[in-house]
Amino acid sequence: MTEPSTTGSFRVKRGLAEMLKGGVIMDVVTPDQAKVAEDAGAVAVMALERVPADIRVDGGVARMSDPEMIEGIKETVTIPVMAKARIGHFVEAQILQALGVDYVDESEVLTPADETHHIDKWAFDVPFVCGATNLGEALRRISEGACMIRSKGEAGTGNVVQAVRHLRSINGDLRKLTQADEAELFEWAKQLRAPLPLVQEIAESGTLPVPLFCAGGLATPADAALAMQLGADAVFVGSGIFKSDDPAPRAKAIVEATTHFRDADILAKVSRGLGAPMTGIGMDADGSASDGTEFEKRGW
C-alpha cells in the first residue's frame, strides 16, 4: 500500500491548470454569483470584492478580498476557487493559502504593493497565475514560480483588442524563438530579460512550460472562441458576464463557445438572444484605455 507523499510540487501545481484547460474561469463578487457561474459550467471562479469594471470607475486602492467573502464562495461551489493578491504582496498570498484558496492570482487589477519585486511563488504550496503582456514578462513570472500565465488584456473594458495583442505577441515570439540558432538565443534572453535556460527550453519545445490562458476584455462567446483559436488554453471572463444585461445565459453561452471554439454553427447558435453585452471602453491607438487607467502596465 502506498501513502501520500509530496504536496506542493510544480507538477501538482501546474497540474490543476491542466485540468482547467478548455474551460471558463469567471469573476464573482458574491456567493450568489458564484452559484450562477457554476450552474453555467464555469471550471473555476475568481472571488473578488469588485469586478475590474467597477475598480476602474471607483478608483482608490484595490486589495485582497475579505476572507469571510472568500469563505462564503468556497462553501457555495464545488469547483476550484481562486482569489487575487496584489503584485508583490506576499502576505496577502500567505493569507489566501491559509484560507485554502485553490489558485492565487498575483494580479495587476489590484493596486501593486511592490514596484520592483513580484512574489517569490516557489515559496508557496498553493499555485499562482500571473498576467503577462509579452513573452519576456511571461518567462519572468514562470522563473518566479508561476504555474499558469494569463495574457493580461485590459481588464474591465469589455474590449478584446489588448487580449488579442498580448496573445499574438506571446505566441508570435514563441514561434520566432523556435527558428533562432544557439547564438541568437543569448540575444533573445537579453531582449526578453528572461533566464537563458528557460529561453533555450522553450526554443526547443515551442511552447511555454505552463498553460497559457487569456484574460482581460472578453465579453461575448465570439471573444472567447477568438482567444481559443489564437492559441489560448482557456479563458478568464471578468466584468463581461456580471456587467451584462442577463448574466446567466451569457455565462452559459461563453462556456459552450469555449468548448466548441472551432465550430461556427454552434457559435452562431449560442450567440443568439443574449441581451446587451457590457458597454465597454474604447482603446486609443497606442493601446491605452480611453478612461486613462491601464492595468496592463502594472507588473515588471
Partner 1 sequence: MSIGVLALQGAFRRHVEAFDALGQPAVEVRRPRELDDVDALAIPGGESGTMSMLLERGGLFEPIAERLAAGMPALGTCAGMILLGTEVLDGRTDQRCFGAIDITTRRNGYGRQIDSFDTALDIEGLDSPFDASFIRAPIVERVGDDVTVLARVDDRPVLCTSGPVMVAAFHPELPTPDGTSDLRIHRRFLEEVL
State the catalytic residues: 84
- Per DSSP (E only), the strands in 48-154 are 81-86, 103-107, 128-132, 148-151
- Nearest distance from C-beta of residue 267 to partner 1, angstroms: 13
CA distance 145 to 128: 7
- Nearest distance from C-beta of residue 141 to partner 1, angstroms: 19
Residue 212, classified by CB atoms within 10 Å of its CB into exposed (0-12), middle (13-18) or buried (19+), is: buried
- Nearest distance from C-beta of residue 260 to partner 1, angstroms: 6
**Residue carrying the nine cell digits 469567471:** 26
Q: Across the strands, what pairs with 46?
A: 27, 82
Which residue's CB is nearer to partner 1, number 4 or number 59? 4
Binding footprint of partner 1 on the chain (CB under 8 A): 1-13, 15-16, 18-23, 38, 41-44, 78-80, 97, 100, 102-103, 125-127, 255-256, 259-260, 263
Which residue's CB is nearer to partner 1, number 155 or number 254? 254
DSSP state of 279: -
Find out whether 84 and 63 touch, Cβ atoms under 8 Å. no
- Nearest distance from C-beta of residue 114 to partner 1, angstroms: 24
Which residue's CB is nearer to partner 1, number 209 or number 287? 209
Which residue's CB is nearer to partner 1, number 209 or number 280? 209
- Nearest distance from C-beta of residue 30 to partner 1, angstroms: 19
CA distance 262 to 226: 9
Q: Where are the alpha helices (DSSP H) in 260-292?
A: 264-270
Q: What angle do CA 226, 104, 10 make, to 5 degrees?
A: 90
C-alpha pair distances (Å), 167 with each of 20, 147, 227, 232: 18, 17, 8, 7
| Cell numbers placing 225 | 472562441
| Cell numbers placing 253 | 453561452
Q: Across the strands, what pairs with 86?
A: 107
- Nearest distance from C-beta of residue 193 to partner 1, angstroms: 24
Which residue's CB is nearer to partner 1, number 85 or number 289? 85
**What are the CB-based long-range contacts (under 8 Å, 24+) for 261-270?**
261/224, 261/225, 261/228, 261/229, 262/225, 262/228, 262/229, 267/221, 267/222, 267/225, 270/221
Which residue's CB is nearer to partner 1, number 124 or number 242? 124
